[in-house]
Amino acid sequence: MSLEHVKRQKTSYIPGIDGLRAIAVLSVILFHLDSSILPGGFSGVDVFFVISGYVVSGSLARETETTFLRFVVNFYARRIVRIYPALTVCIVLVGLLQTLIVSPPGLKILAETAMSAFFGLSNFALIWFNDGYFSPQVEFNTFTHTWSLAVEEQFYLVFPIIFFVWLKGRKRKDAVGVFANWLLAILLTVSLLYSWFETTAAPDHAFYLLPSRFWELACGAMLFKLHKKNILLARSEIITSGCVVIGLVLVGLGFIFSDPKSFPFPWAMLSVVGALFVIAGAVSHSGRVSAISGILDNRVIVYVGKMSYSLYLWHWPILVIFKWTVGLEKPLAIIAAITLTALMSAFSYHVVEKPIRRSNFVLSRSDWYIVSRGLGIIVLCFAFSGVVFMAQPYLSLSVTKDRHNWYPYHPELWPSDSKTTLAVPKTFDGRRMFVLGDSHTEAYSTMLHKLTVEQGVEVQQYTKSGCPIANLLKSPNPECSLFIQQVLSKIERVAKPNDIVFLASLRMTRLGNAFEALNESDVVAKQLSSDSTAERLVALRTADNLIAKLEKASLIVVIDAPKPVFKSPPFRCSDWFNFSNPICTSGFTMKRSFLLEYRKPVMKSLDILMRNHPNLAVWDTFPILCPSDTCSAFENKLPLFFDVDHLSGHGNRVLYPSFLSMLISVWHPNPSG
């Protein structure tokens, strides 16, 4: 990277493109603040993709007289200096803050996304975690927004090759020339068609991954190639103004009407085509600036555009941190979040971005030096962040730092559970129990481990989050049905007569979750609806067939009855920096009479199952977890529940004697047994 190169960049600067960047980033921020303000504001990212394709092409086109290796290394040196200083500072600082205030279940996904973002893989991380862009969980991942940077970084891995082929072969008249000139257009078309297919077939893949987004960046690159050939350049004030007006209208329509369910195809086309028109107007060679195109050249708008990268980096983490702690519903909180976003973005732009890009030290170093040292710094920041995330138990400010009482599934805590709480001889050696169900199966881990340590029971757990088994509320979806079939097949192969199969799942419709409190009236009304009643009947038949199949194999079936559920998550709302959040207003108590009435439909189904299967054992923990007129998520200031329905480690220990007594009655029905 040389001073001469920087001077060439400055002479080709187009203020209108920064104006378009400002519009794009502000639309994304408005959407993230309140999606009802600008329902399609997320498509501002698509505008960024087009701009990136155009600007990067312009940057690459200046390096014509060079070898491929020097061409590529020079490109990556500039990309590292442009992207990574601000990105690594953001990841490190936000990761450290999140480690202080977020508990491990949420921090795990956040940390994996952050660590992936260092190397442009966060879009894959979000796919692996099945966190669809419009799901509630995404709103609490401070690094969700880095998916778009990952798409661009992955584009940068392949695009220099495509562009170099075009630069070297575009003037040839043979087959090589044809290939060089048409390669990008062919890839663009293939990507667009793939995006069309993938939007319906795999929406998350279509949204997050490069193959279905390549066409957007390629559109910007194609426009540059056409401009390079003096095609589609505005040559009069009228055409310039027309391009800008048409482009802004299309972009605006995209911001208003883009449908998340049909994205990126076809709705991204509005923003993409609109961005192409605006860029065509902004780079007009007419020699005059029209009144309309001059809007994009406004000093304030251009300044926002120059800061757009830092604004994009910082706005999302700040909004998420506000949502997690004090909430983002009150005007004062919104104003504070916007102010902090502006301050951190200004810090990032003026203290990190600009000084490093214009540093004489950086400009005087070779491209190889920048790439090698840049990668080294990225690796060091990656390692530092990894250490910070792993040190969460020691750094956390949350009450959940007390893992022994809060978490039911951390193996390092289990040895402390070896003390017997009920004086029973270790007579279950050789007995086997299979435990299967949704995340509530895993939430029994402390109790089940105590059973193994103290009573010699061999416990095998099979769990898949979101896949309840015999929950008596609704039938499993195809993915869960496959999981159930695979687990049952394995159990049938290895189980012996009188082994226990414990079906542990959530059997009460939630009144809230870790991210939001649900409207009680709406949930109750839905439970009483004819559709829900019909679903419960189907679920009852499914459970009946499942139990019959297990009993036919001479297995003993145990099923847990519905436990209390709550509206506010204790693991969040017990912290001083979270308790004022709107999600915490419902508190940690529920009326016992309401919950007993609320669980009646499932209890009726359990009664039917017990009549059909006399040997079925139903373990009802409700009287233990809620012994008074008011059900509480706490017992003597210790948590019975981690969140709105999953047990805590302490809750496991409270239930252990009851579970052991139930097993004794099943495996030893009388004193002589």
3-state secondary structure 149-212: HHHHHHHHHHHHHHHHHHHHHCCCCCHHHHHHHHHHHHHHHHHHHHHHHHHHHCHHHHHHCHHH
For residue 595, pLDDT beyond 50 = yes
Listed in sequence order, the residues at least 6 apart from 69 whose beta carbon sits closer than 8 Å to its beta carbon are: none
For residue 3, pLDDT beyond 50 = no
**For residue range 273-282, what is the model confidence (pLDDT) as tens digits?**
999 999 999 8
* Look-up of token digits 């060439």: 8
Q: Label residue 365 by pLDDT band (50, 70, 90).
A: very high
Q: What local confidence, expressed as pLDDT, does residue 5 receive? A: 44
**For residue range 84-116, what is the model confidence (pLDDT) as tens digits?**
999 999 999 999 999 999 887 778 889 999 999
Between strands 630-632 and 638-639, the pairing is unpaired
- Report helix, strand or coil for 656: helix
Q: Label residue 672 by pLDDT band (50, 70, 90).
A: very low
For residue 62, pLDDT beyond 80 = yes
For residue 6, pLDDT beyond 70 = no
Query: Is 87 contained in some domain?
Result: yes
Q: Which of 354, 373, 395 is the last residue of a domain?
A: 395
Mean pLDDT, the chain, integer: 90
Q: Label residue 518 by pLDDT band (50, 70, 90).
A: confident
For residues 36-43, average pLDDT: 95
For residues 189-218, average pLDDT: 96
In eight-state DSSP terms, residue 139 is G
* Residues 347 and 233 placed together within one structural domain of the fold: yes
For residues 182-195, average pLDDT: 97
Q: Label residue 669 by pLDDT band (50, 70, 90).
A: low
Nearest to 663 by CA among 489, 450, 488, 468: 450
Residue 320's Cβ-count burial label (10 Å; 0-12, 13-18, 19+) is buried
Residue 212 has a CB neighbour count (10 Å cut-off) of 27
* Residues 311 and 444 placed together within one structural domain of the fold: no
* Residues 388 and 432 placed together within one structural domain of the fold: no
Domain of 214 in residue numbering reads as 3-395
DSSP H/E element including 21: helix 15-33
How many structural domains are present in the chain?
2
Nearest to 400 by CA among 646, 656, 93, 632: 646
Q: Label residue 238 by pLDDT band (50, 70, 90).
A: confident
For residues 178-193, average pLDDT: 96
Helix-then-strand count for the chain, H and E: 30, 9
Query: Is 407 contained in some domain?
Result: no
**For residue range 420-458, what is the model confidence (pLDDT) as tens digits?**
444 445 667 789 999 999 999 999 999 999 999 888 899
- Report helix, strand or coil for 432: strand
* Residues 433 and 386 placed together within one structural domain of the fold: no
Q: How many CA atoms lie within 13 A of 184 on its CB side?
A: 30
Query: Is 411 contained in some domain?
Result: no
- Rounded to whole angstroms, the Cα distance separating 204 from 200 reads 10
* Residues 491 and 382 placed together within one structural domain of the fold: no
- Rounded to whole angstroms, the Cα distance separating 185 from 245 reads 26
**For residue range 334-348, what is the model confidence (pLDDT) as tens digits?**
999 999 999 999 999
C-alpha gyration radius of the chain = 30
Q: Label residue 536 by pLDDT band (50, 70, 90).
A: very high
For residue 290, pLDDT beyond 90 = no
Q: What are phi and psi of 470, to 5 degrees?
A: 55, 45
- Rounded to whole angstroms, the Cα distance separating 314 from 337 reads 11
Nearest to 51 by CA among 76, 8, 14, 7: 14
Q: Label residue 4 by pLDDT band (50, 70, 90).
A: very low
In eight-state DSSP terms, residue 641 is B
* Residues 269 and 158 placed together within one structural domain of the fold: yes
Please report the sign of the dihedral spanned by the C-alpha atoms of residue 504, residue 505, residue 507, residue 512. Answer: positive
Listed in sequence order, the residues at least 6 apart from 12 whose beta carbon sits closer than 8 Å to its beta carbon are: 58, 62
20-34, 53-67, 88-102: which has the minimum mean pLDDT? 53-67
Nearest to 504 by CA among 464, 559, 466: 559
Between strands 630-632 and 589-591, the pairing is antiparallel
Query: Is 409 contained in some domain?
Result: no
Q: What local confidence, expressed as pLDDT, does residue 288 receive? A: 54
DSSP H/E element including 436: strand 432-437
Query: Is 33 contained in some domain?
Result: yes
Partners of 436 in the β-ladder? 462, 503
Query: Is 421 contained in some domain?
Result: no
Q: Which of 353, 379, 395 is the last residue of a domain?
A: 395
Residue 615: which CATH number?
3.40.50.1110
* Residues 172 and 222 placed together within one structural domain of the fold: yes
Phi-psi region of 154 (alpha: psi -120 to 50; beta: other; left: phi over 0): alpha
**Helix %, strand %, coil % of the chain (to 5):** 65, 5, 30
Nearest to 534 by CA among 587, 474, 493, 579: 474
Q: Label residue 10 by pLDDT band (50, 70, 90).
A: very low
- Rounded to whole angstroms, the Cα distance separating 164 from 145 reads 30
Tokens of 563: 């436990």
Q: What local confidence, expressed as pLDDT, does residue 34 receive? A: 93
Query: Is 23 contained in some domain?
Result: yes
* Residues 390 and 433 placed together within one structural domain of the fold: no
Q: Label residue 673 by pLDDT band (50, 70, 90).
A: very low
For residue 503, pLDDT beyond 90 = yes
* Residues 247 and 380 placed together within one structural domain of the fold: yes
Tokens of 581: 């959040």
* Residues 348 and 453 placed together within one structural domain of the fold: no
Q: Which of 372, 395, 418 is the last residue of a domain?
A: 395
* Residues 386 and 439 placed together within one structural domain of the fold: no
Query: Is 530 contained in some domain?
Result: yes
**394-413 burial, b if ≥16 CB within 10 A, otherwise e?**
eebebbbebbbbbbbbeeeb
Q: What local confidence, expressed as pLDDT, does residue 245 receive? A: 93
Nearest to 160 by CA among 84, 8, 56: 56
Nearest to 59 by CA among 69, 43, 72, 41: 72
- Rounded to whole angstroms, the Cα distance separating 385 from 423 reads 47
Residue 360 has a CB neighbour count (10 Å cut-off) of 8
* Residues 228 and 323 placed together within one structural domain of the fold: yes
- % the chain with pLDDT above 90: 77
